Amino acid sequence: MDWTYFHTLLLVIQHGISLVGILIILSGALQAIYRYGQYLLWPSAREVISINTIRLGLGRILVLGLEFIVAADLIGTTTTPDYYSVGIAAIVVTIRTVLSYTLNRELATLSRDG
């Protein structure tokens, strides 16, 4: 088996999954901006949309997007030949995991309150 082909395939998969995560986050942010604009511009929308509802939706999208990006980073560690790059990837995954954990806690609080 040609390992160069396998390495290239893993890199393409990694970048594809990372792109999916970025697109999820971008679409969620645009949707939250749109809903916030509705909230500000049309008083009748305030009966249906609340700030906490917008935050809850955005938070869920952020967590989903971050999970895709973490998965891409984990795939990337399999293609990395040195310990330095693996260490950097581990730090990035740790930061994103902590961020996901704190977002999930806030989302749970918003779901309970709202």
**Segment 60-97, tens digit of pLDDT:** 898 899 889 888 888 888 777 678 877 877 887 788 78
| 3, 4, 33 from 54: Cα distances, Å | 46, 45, 9
- On whether the CB atoms of residues 3 and 11 are closer than 8 A, the answer is no
The pLDDT score that the predictor gives to residue 109 is 83
pLDDT at 66: 86
CA dist 103 and 112 (Å) reads 14
- Which region, left, alpha or beta, applies to residue 13 given φ > 0 means left and ψ of -120 to 50 means alpha? alpha
Residue with the larger pLDDT of the pair 2 and 37: 37
Dihedral of the alpha carbons of 68, 72, 77, 78, in degrees to the nearest 10: 120
Asked if the model's pLDDT at residue 50 lies above 80, the reply is yes
